[in-house]
Amino acid sequence: MNLKLREWIFTIGAFIIALYLYSLFSYFGIKEFLKENLLTDYFDSGVWHIEVILGGLFLGVLFILVNKLAEHRSIRKKGYGFNILFKSILHFVALFLVCFLIYHGFKYFGLINQNQIDGFKELLSANFLLSGLLYYSSIILIMNFILHINKKIGPGSMMNLLTGKYYHPKSEDLIFLFLDLKGSTALAEKLGHNLYSRLIKECIHELTPIIVKHQASVYQYVGDEVVLYWKQRDGLSRMRCVRTFFDFIDALKRRERGFISRYGELPTFKAGMDFGTVTATEIGDIKRDIAFHGDVLNTASRLEKKCNDYNERLIISQNLVDKIPSNGTYNYTFLSDLPLKGKSESLSFYGVNPN
């Protein structure tokens, strides 16, 4: 199941559960103290279950659509606090507009009459509306907070930590991509630390939508280096692991004029990639994280450093070449053999370029 589908299911499910909880808190906790009226008849009928599910579906879809609209580059560059507050306010504006349009649409087409409207007004007291508004505000803020924390930790990583999936070491077949800025030392000296940091941050912002598009996971940001990984099936499907690098290069190229005006040149990246079995496990009590151990990481890192020697942008191992489906999109050129540390055998590696 891809990350976007999981996010949709989580969001809609969370809103349905939230509406159920509101119904339980606002009615069932005090139902013994209420006299018989339209409200008690309504809850006893069971119709509210359907309305809660439909309401949760509506609010969940609205929440996701508003969040997608708010994922603009200028907003993503702001802090977490600003993002959470901005999106929450935007949700209230969107909800008000949608409810306004639905109400007047129903009224215009004669789907509700004045007697029904007056009946709703009698049931919906100011206190009832205020309690619903406060509850909805809390849910919106909590949902945005959870989604931002999930992004910070890494999509999927938060659930793995909560469920303890890697509490005990576990072996997995993964593809690792080590992505590094070329000529970083000279560039840092030329720009100075502050401007250089802004350059790296801007490059990462360009990389982020590509990471999401190709379903990669971020393992580490180390200085000007980014380490991505995929499960075998996800990375090989549609050649996502290779396309990620070249889509990133294309994204930087499209913004070449802006980079040159701000930093004096277009940043260029090089990358190394390998596939194999690693051991994943939780480490640390403070700032708990999931760590990977294995030769794959060492090999991918060494291949990335070989790019300068062979004047290549992307170098991948024989392990990965054997797995990638050949559809003519990319050309793989044999370069040399890489001696493996602590082992007698060596590993062939290839330069990759689009055809």
For residues 76 and 32, membership in a common domain is answered with yes
The pLDDT of residue 130 is 75
For residues 139 and 179, membership in a common domain is answered with no
Q: In this structure, what token pair is assigned to residue 322?
A: 């054997």
For residues 233 and 344, membership in a common domain is answered with yes
Show which of 93, 126, 153 is a domain's final residue: 153
For residues 211 and 332, membership in a common domain is answered with yes
Residue 158 lies in a domain: no
Q: In this structure, what token pair is assigned to residue 323?
A: 């797995």
For residues 337 and 306, membership in a common domain is answered with yes
Cα separation of the two ends of the chain: 31
The pLDDT of residue 166 is 80
Domain that holds residue 258: 164-354
Specify which residues 332 forms β-bridges with: 352
Residue 159 lies in a domain: no
For residues 7 and 131, membership in a common domain is answered with yes
Show which of 97, 120, 153 is a domain's final residue: 153
For residues 135 and 242, membership in a common domain is answered with no
Cα distances (Å, whole numbers) of residue 185 to 16, 127, 188, 193:
52, 62, 5, 11
For residues 177 and 142, membership in a common domain is answered with no
For residues 240 and 230, is the Cβ–Cβ distance under 8 A?
A: yes
Q: In this structure, what token pair is assigned to residue 230?
A: 């995929």
The dihedrals phi and psi of 286, each to the nearest 5 degrees, come to -95, 130
Residue 103 CA to residue 109 CA, distance in Å, equals 10
For residues 11 and 63, is the Cβ–Cβ distance under 8 A?
A: yes
Helix (H) or strand (E) holding 180: strand 170-181
* pLDDT values of the chain reduced to their tens digit, one per residue, 355 residues: 566 677 778 788 888 888 777 776 665 545 544 555 555 665 666 666 777 788 788 888 888 888 777 776 666 667 767 777 888 888 878 878 877 887 777 777 776 777 767 766 666 667 767 777 777 788 888 888 887 777 777 666 777 777 778 888 999 999 999 999 999 999 999 999 999 999 999 999 999 999 989 999 999 998 899 999 999 999 999 999 999 999 999 999 999 999 999 999 999 999 999 999 999 998 887 777 889 999 999 999 999 999 999 999 999 999 999 999 877 789 999 999 888 665 567 889 999 999 8
For residues 227 and 112, membership in a common domain is answered with no
Residue 82 CA to residue 76 CA, distance in Å, equals 10
For residues 142 and 169, membership in a common domain is answered with no
Q: In this structure, what token pair is assigned to residue 292?
A: 């990977």
- Sequence length of the chain is 355
Single-letter code of the amino acid located at 334: F
Check which CATH number belongs to the domain holding 208 and give it: 3.30.70.1230
For residues 314 and 344, membership in a common domain is answered with yes
For residues 102 and 54, is the Cβ–Cβ distance under 8 A?
A: no
Cα distances (Å, whole numbers) of residue 312 to 263, 288, 305:
24, 36, 10
Show which of 153, 180, 200 is a domain's final residue: 153
The pLDDT of residue 33 is 45
Single-letter code of the amino acid located at 238: R
For residues 307 and 180, membership in a common domain is answered with yes
- Count of domains observed in the chain: 2
pTM over 0.85: no
